[in-house]
Amino acid sequence: MATLKPESRNIFMRRYWFMDSVAEIAEKSGSGLSKVKMSLSRTREHLKLFLKQEGYRL
């Protein structure tokens, strides 16, 4: 998480920690739905690659 840009980290935390919907995140951040969805997708992929490098099986 520390390697993410602050905006990406905020979107990821709002979705998976605070359980905000994609629409709520888009509204609160002033971004479009597609930008929020793409950010979440890229962050999940980043996390997946990090976990694989650390030896976790996915």
Q: How many domains does the chain have?
A: 1
Q: What is the domain range of residue 43?
A: 6-51
pLDDT, tens only, 10-36:
999 999 999 999 999 999 999 999 999
The pLDDT score that the predictor gives to residue 1 is 85
| Cα-based torsion angle of the residue sequence 44, 49, 52, 54 in order, rounded to the nearest 10 degrees | -100
- Is 20 contained in some domain? yes
Residue 7's alpha-carbon distances to 29, 35, 53, 54, 55, in angstroms, are 9, 11, 24, 25, 28
What's this model's pTM, rounded to 2 decimal places?
0.89
- Is 26 contained in some domain? yes
DSSP secondary-structure letter at 2?
T
Report the 3 state secondary structure along 5-49.
Answer: CHHHHHHHHHHHCCCCCHHHHHHHHCCCHHHHHHHHHHHHHHHHH
- Is 13 contained in some domain? yes
